[in-house]
A and B are shown apart, each in its own frame.
Chain A
Amino acid sequence: MSFGETTSQLKISADHLRRQIEKVFIDENVRDSEVARRAYKFFGEDKIEIVTEAPLKNSEGELSPEQFDRSKRLLHITEFKGSFFKRCPGAKPGLTCCNYFVLNLGLQCNMNCSYCYLQSFINTPVMKIYSNIDKALAELDEIAAVPGAAQQKLRVGTGEVIDSLSLDPLTLYSVKLIEFFKKYPNWRVEFKTKSADVDQFLHTEHTGNVIVSWSINPQNIVETEEHGTASLQARLTAARKCLDKGYQIAFHLDPVIWHPGWESSYHTLVDEVTSQFTPAELPYISLGALRFQPEQRHIMRERFGMSHVMRGEMFSGKDGKLRYDQNLREDMFKRIMGWFHAHDPNWKIFLCMESPESWLSAVGSGPKNRNGLGELFDHNVVRTINNAEAASEL
C-alpha cells in the first residue's frame, strides 16, 4: 500500500501523526528496513536523524511528566533485541485471566489516555517502533513447530504496550500479521485499539482468524480521559467496516471509570453498542474497572489534574494495584451486564483482570463455566508449549 491515503479516515490519521511527531530517530543498522524506508516517505527527510546509539540516553529511567509528554513526539525506529513473545500480564496468582499471548511491536503510544498504565511502565524517553517484525513472526513459526501447538487455539495480541493500529498508517504491520496468520488458521491475532484506523487492511485476504477489538468508553469519558483517540462513534463505525469485511470484532469496556452520572453514561454506551451490533457479531465483550499501579497516580495527577480517574476513591487491591472498592466494582459490573442482557441475554461478557471474588459476585460463576467463554481461558496451549520447553531443557 502506498501513502496515497485513499480514505479520508486514513488521511486524517496520517496527517495527525505527521503533525504530532517532531523527530524520527532511525538506528543506522535498520535504515534499510521496510518501516524505516516508509518513515522517510511518510515524514520527509527533514524530520529524520540516523543514530548509532539510543537517543536521549541520559533521560532513561523514571520519566518526569514533561519527559513522558515529549516521548510521545519523538519516534525511534530500532530493533527489538529480546524475545517478542510474552504471556498476558493478567495471568498472575490471585487473578483470573484469559489465556492470551502478547507480541510487542513497539513501545509507547501516540494517543494520550489519562489512566494509561504506560505512565508507570515506560522508562525510555522516546516512542519506539521495532523494525524487525520478521523476527517476531519467526518466533511464532518456532512455536508452531512444537508438536500440537499449531492445532491449539492460540491467541496473540499486539496492543499491550503500543496501540495495535494507531501507528499502522505508517508501519502497515497489520497487513503483515494478517498475511502471516493465514498459515495458522487455528490461531487468532488480535488488534486492540482506540483508533479508527482500519482502512489500510480491510482489503487484505484473511482466513477469519483476525480479531479487531476496541477499547470503548462513553463519549464523555473519551473527551475527558482519552485524549487523541477516535470518538466512540468513529470506533463503532470502524468496527462495522471490519465486520463487513469478515473480520471478527470485540469490544473491551475497559477501564470502566466511576464518575458522577456514570450509570447514565454507561447505560447510553450499552444502548449505542446494542443498537449497532448483535451478540452474534461479537464473540465477547470484556469488562474491567479502572486500576493502576499506586506510583502512577503522581504522574497522572501532574499530567491531567484531578480528572475523573483521579477523583475516584481508589484502594489497594490484592495484587497491589489501586482499584475501586470491591462492592462498587461488583455493582458496576452487575449493572452493565444487566443492561446488555436486558437487550439480549446472548451477550457474552467476561471480566478481565478481576479477582475470582468479583467473578463470583458479578457473574455467579468462574470464567471457564460461562457459556462460550471457556475457550478464552483454555490453558492447553500454554501447557503444550511449557511441556515442550521443559522437555527440551532435560
Chain B
Amino acid sequence: MWKGVVYAGAAERAESSATKANPAAVEVSNYFSSFEKAFFEAHPNLGLAELARLSEAKTPLEFDLSVLLSFYNLRLSDNLKSVFKLLNESPKEFCTWVNEKQIGARELYSLKALDTDKSRLNQNRSFRDELLLRVARSNASRSAGVQAMEWAVELYLMDENPNEFFNTPENKALSFDHWHLWLKEKRFSQRTQTREYMERQLKSISWPKGSKVSVFEAGDRLGFEVRIQASDAQDLTKKAHTLTNSAVQLARAPLEELQ
C-alpha cells in the first residue's frame, strides 16, 4: 500500500493494479523514499516483457518510468522504448518465454529491423509473430532462441521465402535444435559449404595411423585439428613423415577453389 492505495499483482495485471484500501495491507510509504523504490523492492525480478507491460500501465499514481527502470539496471532509451513496443505487440507465449529466459533488450534488437520497411509492415509483422511463436513454443534456450531469431530475420530480409522457414513439410517436422542448425547453415552457407568440403577432403586423405582428425570451427577460423599419439621418438618421426604426405595431398586441392 502506497499512501493509502493498495497496489497488487502489478506484474500480472498492471493496468488494473490499484484497488481500494485494504486494512491488511502494509503502508510502505513510511519505509521507502519513493514509489519506484518500493515497487522494485516488492517485485525485484520482473522480466523484460513484464516491464514492457508496466511501461504502458494506467495507474492512478503517476510514477517516473525511467526512475523505476533504473532500479532494474535499464535506461529508458529510444531503443528500449522500441523493444517495449515490440513486446507489447508480441504473442503472449513469446512474452512468457522472454520473462522465463530472462532475455535482455539487446537480444531482441534484431527484431526491430522488421519495422524499418514501412511498405512491408504487415507482411513483416506476420512473419515476426510466426517466428516468435516458433521460438516460444519450442522452449528454446536463451542463446539458441536469440540466435535463431536473428538468423531468421536476416534471411527473411535477404528475401528468402518466408514460407520456407516454417511451412515446408521438412521444417514443420524439425525439432528446434535441427531447425536452429538449418537456419545457421542457410545463413552461413559459404562456411557450411567450405566445412563440408573440408570434411570430404579429410576423408580422402591418408593420415598417420591412430591419429584423430576433425574439422574445427573457432570464431573466424576454420581448419583441421589433428591429434597424434606417439610411443617413442621413432614412432613420432614415422608419423611426422606420414603427416607431411597428408599435407602434400591437402595442398593439391586448396581451399581457395571454393571461395
A interface vs B, CB < 8 Å? 59, 61-67, 295, 298, 301-302, 305-306, 310-311, 313, 315-318, 323-329, 331
Q: Are A64 and B78 in contact (CB under 8 A)?
A: yes
Residues of A with C-beta under 8 A to B194: 325, 327
Given that A306-B157, A313-B188 are known contacts, is A62 also in contact with B219, CB under 8 Å in the complex? no
Residue of B nearest to A66 (CB): B78
How would residues 203 to 239 of chain B score, 1 for a CB under 8 Å from any chain A CB and 0 otherwise? Answer: 0000000000000000111100000000000000000
Q: Are B190 and A313 in contact (CB under 8 A)?
A: yes
Given that A298-B106, A301-B110, A310-B154 are known contacts, is A323 also in contact with B78, CB under 8 Å in the complex? no
Residues of A with C-beta under 8 A to B78: 59, 63-64, 66-67
Residues of B with C-beta under 8 A to A327: 194, 222, 255-256, 259
Q: Are A328 and B109 in contact (CB under 8 A)?
A: no
B248 contacts the other chain (CB 8 A) = no
Give B169 Cβ to nearest chain A Cβ, in Å: 27
- Among B32-40, B112-120, B128-136, the one that faces the other chain is B112-120
Q: Are B112 and A317 in contact (CB under 8 A)?
A: no
The interface residues of chain B, by DSSP majority, are classed as helix
Give B123 Cβ to nearest chain A Cβ, in Å: 15
Residues of B with C-beta under 8 A to A313: 187-191
CA distance A392 to B44 in the complex (A): 50
CA distance A296 to B138 in the complex (A): 29
Q: Are B191 and A317 in contact (CB under 8 A)?
A: no
Our pick among A305, A328, A331 for the contact of B117 (Cβ within 8 Å) is A305
B79 contacts the other chain (CB 8 A) = yes
Interface residues on B, range: 20 to 34
Give chain B interface residues in 101-115, CB to chain A under 8 Å: 106, 109-110, 112-113
Given that A62-B79, A311-B158 are known contacts, is A328 also in contact with B259, CB under 8 Å in the complex? yes
Q: Are A61 and B110 in contact (CB under 8 A)?
A: no
CA distance A305 to B191 in the complex (A): 22
Q: Are A64 and B219 in contact (CB under 8 A)?
A: no
Residues of B with C-beta under 8 A to A329: 220
Give 11 new A-B contacts, CB below 8 A, not counting A64-B78, A327-B222, A329-B220: A63-B78, A64-B79, A313-B188, A313-B191, A316-B220, A323-B220, A326-B220, A327-B259, A328-B190, A328-B259, A331-B256
Residues of A with C-beta under 8 A to B158: 306, 311
Our pick among A59, A61, A306, A325 for the contact of B222 (Cβ within 8 Å) is A325
Give B178 Cβ to nearest chain A Cβ, in Å: 21
Give A382 Cβ to nearest chain B Cβ, in Å: 28
Q: Are B77 and A315 in contact (CB under 8 A)?
A: no
B interface vs A, CB < 8 Å? 75, 77-79, 82, 106, 109-110, 112-113, 116-117, 154, 157-158, 187-191, 194, 219-222, 255-256, 259
Residue of B nearest to A301 (CB): B113
Given that A66-B78, A327-B259 are known contacts, is A302 also in contact with B112, CB under 8 Å in the complex? yes
CA distance A32 to B148 in the complex (A): 55
Q: Are A305 and B219 in contact (CB under 8 A)?
A: no
Residue of A nearest to B79 (CB): A64
Max count, chain A CB within 10 A of own CB: residue among B78, B113, B116, B158: B113
Residues of A with C-beta under 8 A to B82: 64
Our pick among B154, B189, B219, B256 for the contact of A306 (Cβ within 8 Å) is B154
CA distance A328 to B256 in the complex (A): 8
Q: Are A325 and B75 in contact (CB under 8 A)?
A: no
Residue of B nearest to A318 (CB): B219
CA distance A65 to B154 in the complex (A): 17
Our pick among A59, A67, A305, A331 for the contact of B157 (Cβ within 8 Å) is A305
CA distance A284 to B117 in the complex (A): 42
Max count, chain A CB within 10 A of own CB: residue among B79, B106, B158: B79
CA distance A317 to B188 in the complex (A): 16
6 contacts between A and B (CB under 8 A): A59-B78, A62-B79, A63-B78, A64-B78, A301-B113, A302-B112
Residues of B with C-beta under 8 A to A311: 158
Given that A305-B117, A328-B259 are known contacts, is A62 also in contact with B220, CB under 8 Å in the complex? no
Residues of A with C-beta under 8 A to B116: 65, 302, 305
Give B3 Cβ to nearest chain A Cβ, in Å: 29
Given that A62-B79, A310-B154 are known contacts, is A295 also in contact with B106, CB under 8 Å in the complex? yes
Residue of B nearest to A314 (CB): B220
Q: Are B220 and A298 in contact (CB under 8 A)?
A: no
Q: Are A298 and B259 in contact (CB under 8 A)?
A: no
Residue of A nearest to B66 (CB): A58
Q: Are A298 and B109 in contact (CB under 8 A)?
A: yes
CA distance A325 to B106 in the complex (A): 25
Residue of B nearest to A299 (CB): B109
Residues of A with C-beta under 8 A to B77: 61-62, 64
Q: Are A301 and B117 in contact (CB under 8 A)?
A: no
Return the 10 tightest CB-CB contacts between A and B, nearest first: A64-B78, A298-B109, A315-B220, A316-B219, A301-B113, A306-B157, A317-B220, A323-B220, A313-B188, A64-B79
CA distance A354 to B194 in the complex (A): 22
Max count, chain A CB within 10 A of own CB: residue among B117, B158, B259: B259
Q: Are A302 and B221 in contact (CB under 8 A)?
A: no
CA distance A65 to B79 in the complex (A): 8
Given that A311-B158, A313-B191, A325-B194 are known contacts, is A302 also in contact with B113, CB under 8 Å in the complex? yes
Residues of A with C-beta under 8 A to B109: 298
Residues of A with C-beta under 8 A to B113: 298, 301-302, 305
Residue of B nearest to A322 (CB): B220
Our pick among B112, B189, B191, B256 for the contact of A325 (Cβ within 8 Å) is B191
CA distance A318 to B220 in the complex (A): 8
